[in-house]
Amino acid sequence: MDQPISEFINTDDFGQSATYTASGGSPATITIIFDNEFFLSTIVGSGYENTNPTALCKTTDVSTATNGATLVTDSVTYYVIGVQPDGTGFTKLILSTQN
């Protein structure tokens, strides 16, 4: 990768600040790309609407991420329910508003 990861995740473009707290750790301000994709799921003729909040982070910022860590952005507290490092320096955190 020719460009530093910081150039992809910055607040001048799509990035936004968030407060990340690892389980049992101290809060740290990091930059993330937040997504809250809408989806409609259909189960046997009935459907429900939901969202799928995720945060794309620099792996070095969330290297100790585990389920139960928290991420606060736009005054909403999210709980980490999944950690997906991609091996290129990015990690996607799967989030939920319920712990």
- Count CB-CB contacts under 10 A for residue 31: 19
Q: Which two tokens stand for residue 21?
A: 């707290």
pLDDT at 1 > cutoff 60: no
Radius of gyration, alpha carbons of the chain: 15
Overall fold of domain 5-96: Thrombin, subunit H (2.40.10)
pLDDT digits (tens, 9 = 90+) for 39-90: 887 777 777 788 899 999 999 999 999 999 999 999 999 999 999 999 999 9
Domain ranges of the chain: 5-96
pLDDT given at position 2: 52
